[in-house]
Structure 1
């Protein structure tokens, strides 16, 4: 009886202290995919941006933004105190909607110069941008929905987000 209780206690303690954590190591790239819905790809050391991106997804659902029709892309510089990069608290985020899928791509800026942010994030997202369709009426509506979702999620979390434009 005592041996059984000892084994159960040791097993519980082992699981509590040595189980794998939910946060992957900061030095590795994080990829989360929900087939047919979205794919999140975050550069090393940007793992802590995942809750913000999931908040954006929740906002898209609450705002009933339809991603089934049209294509859209938006690029942002995100200033988040909880996510430190080599160039301070700023990281770059691309949101691309294509064929009903939402792609989130997080990258670190190569320099602290904001004028280079757009070129950096576009270079990181080049595979998704190849053959990207031109904007139409549905795209403009979708882009507006994406922008509103990210603005609401950022206000909720106290994060500053700047839209990057050509």
Structure 2
């Protein structure tokens, strides 16, 4: 994965069976790479119809997504898989709450933010913690995996592909 706007180039993304920010995903993120959940409750793969979900640490393990909040509407994310580069364009930002099952369902939905809606196009959700902002607001809640209450999700849509 490459995000030119954030000076990220060639970030490894490891797929695993699970959901965003579970113990298996944390173990992957702790190695300094990004994690992509798949399976019945996870997302699709690069270029697949639905929600390609990628999570990474912001504050530890090389802080790969330290600057993710800077990503803006229109910025591009490039994902290379096999012989293809998938180019996604960021469309929106949403905040996910770990204390809300509804919010988690929205993050993990095939159409981000719209659980139960059938996906008709390829999308991406890139997610990282909102620890700094939560702490600045006096919110120090964390779950058993030390996830803060909120996540920052950058959501994009596939706009084109090209040969790798």
Q: The TM-score by the shorter chain falls in which range?
A: under 0.3
Structure richer in strand, relative to its length: 2
TM-score (norm 2): 0.28
Bigger radius of gyration, 1 or 2?
Answer: 1
Structure richer in helix, relative to its length: 1
